[in-house]
Structure 1
Amino acid sequence: MNSDGLPTQSGDTMTTLTRDDYKWAFDPYAYLNAFYSSPVDDSAMTMVLSLLPTIAARLPHCQRLLDIGSGPTVHVPVVFRKKVDEIYLSDYLPQNRELLRKWLRNGEPFDWSEIVEAKTKVQSVLDCDVLSPQVIESIDIAMEYSQALSNVIRLLKIGGYLVLGGILSETWYQFGGRRFGCYLLLESELFSVLSQCGMDTREKHLIYYNHCDVFLLITKRIV
């Protein structure tokens, strides 16, 4: 780290920040500008934003949706607003939660101009740490990115749906001049944990997309 608390950079190397660094180093506006200003420039965002409506269309109408690890984004309530009565956003980082609350209060400067309708379904923005016990009572749909998958699945009712997206076989990602470490998730581990936690991983009951190790899936809790 240099005197300003920024990661040092030398040649092609950059300090990889850890989970403990997120609260001071993660800039939600830099994240949004990097991945959501022009999602067509990012293959992962293009895939997620293109396929989420397809997944939503296959779900029955449910009472509640909990988006675990919302980050500073609101694409989940936008996509699922016609499928659920109540939406709960959550994130580990206070700066992300504050930005989401600004959006709900119409005080968010980032341009989410096409998503006004989704606000009527959002009930709350919650403090979320997937390494800790249950955040809110059992729900119908849970959305999560990778860590502590078993903790997340415990939030689901039997018969509830898990919509999960993430990146496989990767240890970091970067934006805004900073590199953040992430959990190295393998496909075999992903499906093993899903099965162990009572999710239906049979091929005919699972919707799974994988493009260049960017994945998106939907499965149902049966146990």
Structure 2
Amino acid sequence: MAIIWDPDKYVGQFYAPDRRDDTTMAWLIGELADWPGGGHALDLGTGVTVAYWAAAAAVVDQITLADYTPAYLAIQRSWIEDATGAPDWSNYIGMALRYAGLPSDAAAVAQRAALARARVAGLMPCDLTRPDPLGAAHRGRYDLVLGLYCAESIAGSRVEWRGWMRHAFSLLRPGGRYIGAALGNCSYYCVGAQRFGHIPVSAGDYRAVMLEYGFAATDLRITTVPEQFPDDAELARQMRAVYGYDETIFAAGRLTEAPDAAR
């Protein structure tokens, strides 16, 4: 019987409403700090997480959300429309404001949420297995592409992963920026007691695939952040077994060459 990925359990485990810090959010805000403003962003494989695209929406003119799974897009739409029962992401929106050094009181959070909702240009189906994940009309269209915790969790091999990353890069215009994050050296991750497959990739894998595609070596920023485990060795071992990973990879860069369909 197929294991069902539960969005509510996932959000509850990784995005608890009382969480005060988030390494991915801190890094993302830092990457967006020098964004010149404006442009069209794409959150590729948006899933059910509002936190990161809402932060990016603050610095662009518009953002498109894309995912393979219609149910995930429906969850995103419920938040965008502020529907009854929609997920509450106010804690993470406030966190993004704090990381940016901005007021994060209730009024500021409400204003930022309204801004994020207003800047959504649309929700689209996508398929990273296709050379044109959103269709040929979207090749080379976006100024900024977010690819957060996506391709590694669905690819069946490193070969597939490299191909699918190239498909993602093809959506950038020349000079556009890619911002990605992945679980490092991870063969699985857990949501509750359920285990889900994941392709082990490293910072070196990210560097290689981005340089190969045409990202500027001088503007490539790839780093890893170790997961924080307790000093107690046995407890740390148990937590590693549950988590399935021990570091997070962050990768960002600017595309210098026009996307080439032959790649």
Give the TM-score, by structure 2 length.
0.69
Aligned to 1:90: 66
The CA deviation at 1:30 is 1.4
Greater shift, 166-175 or 111-120, is seen at: 111-120
Contact 1:77–1:122 under 8 Å retained in 2: no
1:31 aligns with 2:10: yes
Q: Secondary structure at the match of 2:26?
A: helix
Q: Secondary structure at the match of 1:84?
A: coil
Match of 1:140 among 139, 143, 146: 143
Which deviations, in whole Å up to 9, do the C-alpha atoms of 1:84-140 show, x marking residues without a partner?
A: 101011112222111011112212532123323210101111112211132134110
Q: Check 1:181–1:54 CA distance in 2 against 1; reply closer, same or farther (3 A cut).
A: same
Contact 2:175–2:255 under 8 Å retained in 1: yes
Q: Secondary structure at the match of 2:121?
A: strand
Aligned to 2:97: none
**1:14-25 aligned within 5 A:** 25=4
1:215 aligns with 2:192: no
Equivalents in 2 of 1:66, 1:120: separation in Å?
A: 15
Q: Secondary structure at the match of 1:60?
A: coil
Aligned to 2:52: 76
Aligned to 1:206: 220
The CA deviation at 1:214 is 0.5
Greater shift, 160-169 or 106-115, is seen at: 106-115
Q: Secondary structure at the match of 2:176?
A: strand
Match of 1:180 among 186, 196, 201: 196
Aligned to 1:19: none
Counterpart residue identity of residue 198, structure 1: G
Equivalents in 2 of 1:73, 1:208: separation in Å?
A: 23
Which deviations, in whole Å up to 9, do the C-alpha atoms of 1:14-73 show, x marking residues without a partner?
A: xxxxxxxxxxx12211111111125748xxx82101221111112222310001111101
User: Which sections of structure 1, spanning at least 5 residues, go unmatched?
Assistant: 7-24
Contact 2:41–2:142 under 8 Å retained in 1: yes
Instruction: Give the RMSD, CA atoms, in angstroms.
Output: 2.0
Equivalents in 2 of 1:160, 1:91: separation in Å?
A: 21
Counterpart residue identity of residue 144, structure 2: I
Aligned to 1:125: 123
1:169 aligns with 2:145: no
The CA deviation at 1:143 is 1.1
Q: Please identify runs of 4+ aligned residues in structure 1 that moved more than 6 A.
A: none
Equivalents in 1 of 2:127, 2:198: separation in Å?
A: 15
Equivalents in 2 of 1:174, 1:129: separation in Å?
A: 24
Match of 2:114 among 110, 113, 116: 116
Equivalents in 2 of 1:189, 1:215: separation in Å?
A: 10
Q: Check 1:110–1:82 CA distance in 2 against 1; reply closer, same or farther (3 A cut).
A: closer
Q: How many residues align?
A: 197
